[in-house]
Chains A and B, each alone.
Chain A
Amino acid sequence: QSALTQPASVSGSPGQSITISCTGTSSDVGGYNYVSWYQQHPGKAPKLIIYDVYKRPSGLSNRFSGSKSGNTASLTISGLQAEDEADYYCSSYTSSITSNWVFGGGTKLTVL
């Protein structure tokens, strides 16, 4: 299956809010409420920040929020901070009989 579609890059100033989109199909993003978002700093492993479209792991800042409409999921980061600068990946469960997950192409967030 094809990777989910994300913008290559987004940017924002400290304190602002940004939104990253993740577009799939009715077989993945649109078909299930099982979208996750991961944050990855250079040289580090991905870190789960959102699961089941909008849920946050325990202890994670509420500046991170998720939503979904149709085949497109979104990650919003409010009150941007310098440490938010990282790569962000979406992922979705998929109904493919041969696979269970699909990832997005990633989005580089730059905090200006």
Chain B
Amino acid sequence: QITLKESGPTLVKPTQTLTLTCNLSGFSLTTVGVGVGWIRQPPGKALEWLGIIYWNGDQRYSPSLRSRLTITMDTSKNHVVLTVTNVDPVDTATYFCAHRPSSWYTLDYWGQGTLVTVSS
């Protein structure tokens, strides 16, 4: 059974760096074609695509946030890490990670999400 779970700080100060971890279970990020994406949702607003990392280490990012985002993976720990630099209150959101299966262009399993508030 595939599960993902996000973890990290609930409160971050403006200008700091936010680091979130997505712990994976039930699949391996070494499987060809598999990816793990990050999506966020500000309170009361729409989903926003952030980026994805694939089994081969290839990364893709939202053009509007590309300069501030980094996604890495640690296959030995079976987790993926999202880093957001120089955060601002507008980065306050629930952050989700999701599984991209090897055969489909979609995100079929999602984590429960973690709410991060940016405030001084």
Which residues of A pack against B, CB within 8 Å? 1, 3, 32, 34, 36, 38, 40, 45-48, 51-52, 57, 89, 91, 93, 96, 98-106
Contacts and interface: CB of A to CB of B under 8 A. Distances in A.
9 contacts: A34-B105, A38-B47, A45-B111, A48-B107, A51-B104, A51-B108, A93-B105, A99-B51, A99-B61
Given A89-B47, A106-B46, A98 B63 contact: yes
Interface residues on B, range: 20 to 34
A32 B61 contact: no
Interface of B: 37, 39, 46-49, 51-52, 60-63, 66, 96, 104-113
Given A45-B110, A46-B96, A102 B105 contact: no
Given A46-B47, A104-B46, A106-B46, A99 B62 contact: yes
A89 B46 contact: yes
A102 B37 CA distance: 12
Counting from the closest, the 6 A-B pairs by CB-CB distance are A34-B105, A51-B106, A45-B110, A36-B106, A106-B46, A93-B105
A105 B61 CA distance: 18
Contact of B52 (A48, A100, A104, A106): A100
A100 B48 CA distance: 12
Contacts of B51: 99
Given A45-B111, A106-B46, A99 B60 contact: yes
B99 to A, nearest CB: 10
A100 B35 CA distance: 11
Contacts of A57: 108
Nearest to A46: B110
B97 to A, nearest CB: 10
